[in-house]
Chain A
């Protein structure tokens, strides 16, 4: 994508993510992430030119929550934007912060995504995305067994169920290494057969452990212009590119739909623009928004433009593990940690930590030059963000 100037990620802060944060109110929880991001960047509130804020109002039922949250996010006396796009919000905030810095309007932008899901009803909140005249009584939040049904139909129940549960076990193995992760179960390989049969189902073959968690938490990131980033940070992660692909209002297209998924569409576009011809080898790590292990499994094929059962084999052979061909979700992913308004930002933040070599116990073994992060939301919307260890070479080009 054309850019007026380069943008580096120089500060990252995450709260510990948990099912319950009775000890803080909303702005206080946000402040924890903001303070950590400032500390990471070696900055104070005075260094911030603009604050970008987002979540989903109906989860906590606060109208224009950026007003109250000024107390915690540091926006007093400063410009600020609030953008919300459902589950993709966190990634949209990243794109917005990149846009605002690249535009030259602001040199340093603090982006904050959060959710305090304990304060509302997550599934009830999501159900209200359906049209009030159509489907609101039918929808059950983001819970659906249709992804499972499709994978089972294509690959057979036994192999599909095993692969989805194996995906879940690998994610948990990663989450165990991440001190911020919410759900850490300690699943092991040998538990898979029992889990496949005995974990309670939510919808169809979507079972409790397959589904993402409901977490309280916040993520804050500091984006700076190339000048500032190079001055203030020894190892910024650089924004290479991002692609946002939304799709129509309803989910109602079914039955061997030939329509290209937003995941494949976004990936195709991103790879074309950035000279990526062999994504599995050129991309070093992928932080995927995996709302469930079934979706996560299915989308590996879409995001890496694969055919056949390659994606299943990648899981079965642990090529997505910490030292695999393409580590996916070293953080443990969304099935482990899901404060929704922050979730898609956490994907980018975790990818940036990998680029910066700052992920600690869940740092992947290989050197990370190029990292990919995805966001998911709305009616199967996708945002893809590409980060690099080296700033992109700017050239005059038309968008």
Chain B
């Protein structure tokens, strides 16, 4: 087949569809607390003895209901891991280079993926202490934390 390339060509097209996603009661509780009170909520699974973030209705390991197991986490924490993003994609929250880090917030056992900014990416390090910088215009999104910056 590959000897008949002369008839082949390429057509520009698109895959585009409208979507509406629902955060659900549990996710919405987290997002509205972030938006309205600048509070970061975690959830404690008593059975597993862990405090989780991002929010979830159920502990995936023991299936305990976590929908009401809210605890307030600190708004600062420590960089547990990070990568400096140097490539450009339309889905990026800001222009490269920028830092996506896993940030272990005070009071949480699982780190949260978020953006670290306000610092030269090359000086970000594991163990760096950071604090949340909230967006001025908050809309009920995880990006209501605009980014984390060195504490």
Contacts and interface: CB of A to CB of B under 8 A. Distances in A.
- A touching B, CB within 8 angstroms: yes
Interface of A: 21-25, 27-28, 31, 35, 44-45, 58, 60-61, 70-72, 74, 76-77, 116, 118-121, 124-125, 128, 132-133
B3 interface: no
B27 interface: yes
Nearest to A71: B60
A349 to B, nearest CB: 21
B57 A119 contact: no
A28 B58 CA distance: 8
A45 B56 contact: no
Contacts of A120: 17-20
A119 B17 contact: no
B25 interface: yes
A31 B61 CA distance: 12
B144 to A, nearest CB: 18
B18 A119 contact: no
Contacts of A72: 57-58, 60
Given A58-B17, A128-B17, A132-B13, A76 B22 contact: no
Interface in B48-90: 56-58, 60-63
Contact of B22 (A25, A27, A132): A25
Contacts of B56: 27-28, 71
B26 interface: yes
B15 interface: yes
Nearest to A61: B19
Nearest to A136: B13
27 contacts: A21-B22, A23-B22, A23-B24, A24-B22, A24-B25, A25-B22, A25-B23, A27-B56, A28-B57, A28-B58, A31-B57, A31-B58, A44-B63, A45-B63, A60-B19, A61-B17, A70-B60, A72-B58, A76-B61, A118-B22, A119-B19, A120-B20, A121-B17, A121-B19, A124-B17, A132-B11, A133-B11
Interface in B24-58: 24-27, 56-58
A77 B60 CA distance: 10
Contact of B24 (A24, A74, A118, A124): A24
A357 B111 CA distance: 48
Contact of B57 (A22, A24, A58, A61): A24
Nearest to B56: A71
A31 B26 CA distance: 14
Contacts of B13: 132
Interface of B: 11, 13, 15, 17-27, 56-58, 60-63
B24 A22 contact: yes
Contacts of B61: 76-77
Contacts of A31: 57-58
Contacts of A27: 56-57
B17 A25 contact: no
Contacts of A124: 17-18
Contacts of B62: 45
A139 to B, nearest CB: 14
User: Top 7 nearest A-B pairs by Cβ distance?
Assistant: A25-B24, A28-B57, A24-B24, A22-B22, A71-B60, A76-B60, A23-B25
Contacts of A119: 19-22
Contacts of A45: 62-63
A212 B78 CA distance: 51
A60 B18 CA distance: 9
A71 B20 contact: no
B25 A121 contact: no
A119 B58 CA distance: 21
Most buried by A among B18, B21, B58, B60: B60
A74 B26 contact: no
Contacts of B25: 23-24
Given A25-B24, A28-B24, A74 B11 contact: no
Contacts of B19: 60-61, 119-121
A145 B24 CA distance: 37
A132 B18 CA distance: 18
B60 A74 contact: yes
A60 B62 CA distance: 27
Nearest to B16: A124
A118 B18 CA distance: 11
A125 B17 contact: yes
Contacts of A35: 63
A72 B58 CA distance: 7
Contacts of B24: 22-25, 28
B50 to A, nearest CB: 13
Nearest to B15: A128
Contacts of A125: 17
A133 B58 CA distance: 44
Given A25-B27, A132-B13, A121 B63 contact: no
Nearest to A58: B17
A74 to B, nearest CB: 7
